[in-house]
């Protein structure tokens, strides 16, 4: 099974550090990602809710936040910056960075096209504009830092975004959509900080980590599905889960630790996801929802639901206009 798009939680940690430094409202983060405040983050995140988070932050704050976030990420020790800083040329660095999607731009498809004279880098037009802004800022700033100047990089953008994009220090041109253009000559010129030995070492490390990521994600998905399938059992336990996966409990715990999580966290996440889904069905009483999620005592379900959402199940249904029979 092909792992679904995932990104390293390191990306979220960097973004959180930047947003907290700017005193942004962090509650939006946990609500959008459907995680409990202070909950231990998993090793990897599905890229779609992370992309949704960027759109939410861009909506609740000035779009300039997305520009500063992208520039901030370009300065961190992530593959895009590392590849470009030490590559022989931009063409080499960008090619390698594009092959490492788990540490590039989360959940956002990029089009890389060459017409002979220029490389055109364009984010998916269906993505929210604020997400496209962060994507552009991340790549443009990484390229500018590698070159030492942004004079050779052209940025096409709708006219209304001119002032917002000024911090990128790029040559801007009017266009109907966002696009970065870099000439073939600039792509092939030797970069001032190129270092073949360090570059090759970085690429080997990043490729090895990406291989491990794919293996872990495939296992993680099997694990999530197995737990979801067991929720109707009383009780759900690690022994049954390990047996279903053809491993022993100690091996299961070790692999969960490698994923940066534990059995109880995954069980809690599965219960939360199922509970929110079942709450949309007005034909189910709260007691039935509680039982199907795996709680024999409604009081335990009510306590867990408040922890997940900050509301009681009844308040949740009223807020989202879902009536219970």
Q: Compute the average pLDDT of residues 239-244.
A: 86
Is residue 227 within 8 A of residue 241, CB to CB? The reply is yes
Rounded Cα distance, 128 and 48, in Å: 12
How does pLDDT run across 55-91, given as a tens digit for each residue? 888 888 888 999 999 999 999 877 778 888 899 999 9
Q: Which three-class secondary structure state does DSSP give residue 325?
A: coil
What is the band of 38 on the pLDDT scale with cuts at 50, 70, 90? low
Residue-level pLDDT at 304:
92
Q: Compute the average pLDDT of residues 180-185.
A: 92
How does pLDDT run across 268-325, given as a tens digit for each residue? 888 988 898 899 888 899 999 998 898 888 899 999 999 888 888 988 888 766 444 3
Rounded Cα distance, 71 and 53, in Å: 17
Residue-level pLDDT at 266:
85
How does pLDDT run across 110-142, given as a tens digit for each residue? 777 888 788 998 887 778 888 888 888 998 999
Which range has the worst mean pLDDT, 4-8, 260-264, 275-279, 282-286? 4-8
Structure tokens at 42: 């998993």
Residue-level pLDDT at 157:
92
Cα-Cα-Cα-Cα torsion 110, 86, 217, 42, nearest 10 degrees, comes to: -100
Which range has the worst mean pLDDT, 139-148, 256-265, 316-325? 316-325
For the chain, what percent of residues have pLDDT higher than 70? 88
Which range has the worst mean pLDDT, 47-61, 207-221, 297-311? 207-221
Residue-level pLDDT at 105:
54
Largest CA distance in the chain: 70
Residue-level pLDDT at 56:
86
Domains annotated for the chain, with CATH where assigned, are 6-194 (3.90.1520), 279-325 (1.10.10)
Residue-level pLDDT at 2:
39
Residue-level pLDDT at 113:
83
Does residue 50 register a pLDDT over 60? yes
Residue-level pLDDT at 22:
92
| Averaged pLDDT of the chain | 83
Q: Is the peptide bond before 228 cis (omega within 30 degrees of 0)?
A: no
Q: Which three-class secondary structure state does DSSP give residue 180?
A: strand
SS3 assignment for 95-117: HHHHCCHHHCCCCCCEEEEECCC
Rounded Cα distance, 228 and 218, in Å: 16
Q: Select the more confidently predicted residue: 95 or 301.
A: 301
Calculate the alpha carbon distances from 163 to 21, 64, 157, 166, 215 in Å: 23, 9, 11, 5, 44
Question: Which residue, 108, 192, 109, 99, is CA-closest to 143?
Answer: 192
Q: Compute the average pLDDT of residues 34-38.
A: 67
Does residue 108 register a pLDDT over 90? no
Residue-level pLDDT at 85:
86
What is the band of 103 on the pLDDT scale with cuts at 50, 70, 90? low
Q: Residue 11's CB: how many other CB atoms inside 10 A?
A: 21
Q: What is the pTM of this model?
A: 0.68
């Amino acid at each position: 099974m092909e792992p679904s798009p995932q990104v390293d939680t390191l990306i979220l940690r960097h973004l959180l550090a930047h947003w907290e430094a700017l005193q942004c409202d962090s509650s939006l983060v946990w609500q959008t990602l459907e995680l409990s405040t202070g909950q231990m983050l998993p090793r990897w995140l599905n890229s779609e809710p992370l992309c949704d988070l960027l759109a939410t932050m861009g909506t609740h704050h000035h779009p300039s936040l997305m520009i500063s976030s992208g520039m901030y990420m370009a300065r961190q020790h992530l593959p895009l910056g590392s590849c470009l800083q030490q590559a022989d040329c931009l063409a080499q660095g960008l090619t390698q960075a594009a092959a490492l999607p788990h540490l590039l731009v989360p959940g956002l498809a990029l089009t890389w096209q060459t017409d002979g004279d220029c490389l055109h880098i364009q984010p998916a037009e269906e993505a929210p504009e604020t997400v496209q802004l962060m994507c552009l800022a991340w790549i443009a700033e990484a390229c500018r830092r590698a070159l030492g100047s942004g004079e050779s990089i052209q940025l096409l953008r709708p006219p209304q975004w001119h002032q917002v994009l000024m911090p990128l220090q790029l040559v801007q041109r009017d266009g109907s959509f966002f696009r970065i253009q870099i000439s073939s000559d600039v792509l092939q010129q030797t970069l001032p900080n190129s270092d073949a030995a360090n570059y090759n070492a970085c690429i080997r490390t990043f490729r090895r980590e990406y291989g491990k990521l794919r293996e872990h994600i495939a296992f993680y998905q099997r694990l999530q599905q197995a737990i979801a399938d067991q929720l109707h059992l009383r009780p759900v336990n690690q022994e049954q889960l390990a047996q279903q996966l053809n491993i022993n409990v100690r091996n299961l715990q070790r692999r969960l630790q490698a994923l940066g999580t534990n059995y109880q966290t995954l069980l809690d996440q599965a219960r939360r996801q199922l509970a929110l889904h079942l709450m949309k069905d007005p034909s189910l009483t709260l007691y039935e929802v509680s039982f199907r999620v795996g709680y024999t005592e409604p009081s335990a379900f009510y306590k867990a639901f408040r922890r997940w959402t900050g509301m009681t199940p009844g308040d949740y249904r009223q807020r989202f206009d879902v009536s219970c029979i």
